[in-house]
Structure 1
């Protein structure tokens, strides 16, 4: 599968402006982002790239965001070279060590996760993934049945499995993510993760103890009703992929319609992750 890379360079950009732009790019199909010294690189499947949509988003900033961008094509065989240049090992909460296959094994950590992104989102480096992993490290997942929506590389389900989850269903609407989750589960010797390709339409009609959904605000608002339908009474749901203002309030209000009660939230930079429980 061919990808497009858009390299953004900025002058005097604020971090929150970059985060907002990344979220808007996610809404039009960009699924992976890597920081650079002058901005960031954004990646999108080639046949989903619409430069007019991109220009429209950038134009909405007017003179507030001084920028340049360059579009280039990346053949599948060059993808590893792209992310290997930027993928550094990640330590979360002194318990979890996330590395690539070319990094050294570190046995001193309780949980070690090996990730080969293969053009899929989710190496733990983005704030939203980090916060979701922190929630998993805090939660009681022992013997729980878990649904992971927007699974990307499968990293969240893999961590849950390593912490004792009984079964994980990982769903993503991107075929690359679907296969990436399978490959990463195998890399980590996880045999209780089932990867499905699709959206809310492929959610199995069964009860889940925990639901993880790290996507974006608009998709979450569309899918919350579907999540609530398969979450058991007393079950927990963790959301991320949005901002504190105004997104968190919108998520809270929508969740309340389906008996999902807000418990708390985490925040890193402008990004938020939140926990809800079904009453």
Structure 2
């Protein structure tokens, strides 16, 4: 089923945006986009918008921001995506572009994705950091799992870097479908995509798990992801605000992870954990 979304246009002063994001991260928004005037927060149209807006009103009263809602129909995602999307480049390591963009000749790895979703295109700081950190990891002949794959960018990049086995999963049907199509388009036929939650993925272990989702999903999944990693395996996670970094690293340590590296970009952080 194609999904419509509500886009909440939030106007806020720059100094307050990080704390606003921290509060909004507690609500069931799918993703956020930072803008010149504040940010956009996306909510599935089948969610309880009335209840969410009551909470938004309470938060806005404390943090002094304004918001308005607009409906974005699924069939309009292409137009939204194309109007906002510019090619992404992580130094000379890798880049992401659409078929209608010119080739990125100066990068070692180029990923081409179809404009079928507004999310998961790599524009967000978290996806940029995930790709940047992937450059330093050893992927040759590794088994990899992309948890919350979006359009499949990270799983595809893992395949280009030499991963031998790649599984990916997403709870959104369009994300699953985009991952399948983008894997084919980018010549990564051994990527196996699954539609649903973690229970839909075969019971097995991996050398590397990628999780670019959000704080709450990461916190709730740490134990399950730990069990799905081989000894010495690595979990690369993002979608976490810097204000929540200590919370996530402390919980990860309780599960048995050791934080090996952190990266910051904007208000966000990207964390590399190792299974002890």
Superposed pair shares fold, TM > 0.5: yes
Q: What does residue 178 of structure 1 align with?
A: 176
Q: Cα 1:9–1:272, aligned 2, differ >3 Å: closer, same or farther?
A: closer
Structure 1 residue 119 displacement after superposition: 2.6
Q: Distance in 2 between matches of 1:179 and 1:120?
A: 14
TM-superposed CA distance for 1:57, in Å, is: 2.7
Selected match of 2:267 from 262, 267, 270: 270
Distance 2:232 2:10 in 1: 46
CA distance in 1, matches of 2:57, 2:238: 24
User: d(CA) in 1 for partners of 2:22 and 2:186?
Assistant: 30
Name the residue aligned to 2:42.
43
Query: C-alpha distance in 2, partners of 1:171/1:261?
Result: 25
Equivalent position of 1:61 in the other structure: 60
In the alignment, what sits opposite 2:51? 52
Q: CA RMSD in A?
A: 2.1
TM-score relative to the length of structure 1: 0.90
1:200 Cα deviation from its structure 2 partner: 2.4
Distance 1:23 1:3 in 2: 25
| Bigger mean CA deviation after superposition, 252-261 or 159-168 | 252-261
For residues 99-248 of structure 1, what are the structure 2 equivalents within 5 Å?
99-119=97-117, 121-245=119-243, 247-248=244-245
Contact 1:10–1:66 under 8 Å retained in 2: yes
Once the two structures are TM-superposed, the CA of residue 26 in structure 1 deviates from its matched residue by: 5.4
User: Does the CA contact (< 8 Å) of 2:5 and 2:74 recur in 1?
Assistant: no
Give the Å deviation of 1:9: 4.6
8 Å CA contact 1:264, 1:276 repeated in 2: yes
Tell me if the contact between 2:121 and 2:151 (Cα under 8 Å) persists in the aligned partners: yes
Q: Is the 8 A contact 1:119 1:176 kept in 2?
A: yes
Q: How many positions carry a matched residue from both structures?
A: 275
Deviation at 1:80, TM superposition (A): 0.6
SS of the counterpart of 2:105?
coil
Unaligned runs of 5+ in 1: none
The normalised TM-score by structure 2 is 0.90
| Distance in 1 between residues matched to 2:235 and 2:263, nearest whole Å | 14
Q: How do residues 76-115 of structure 1 correspond to structure 2 at under 5 angstroms?
A: 76-115=74-113
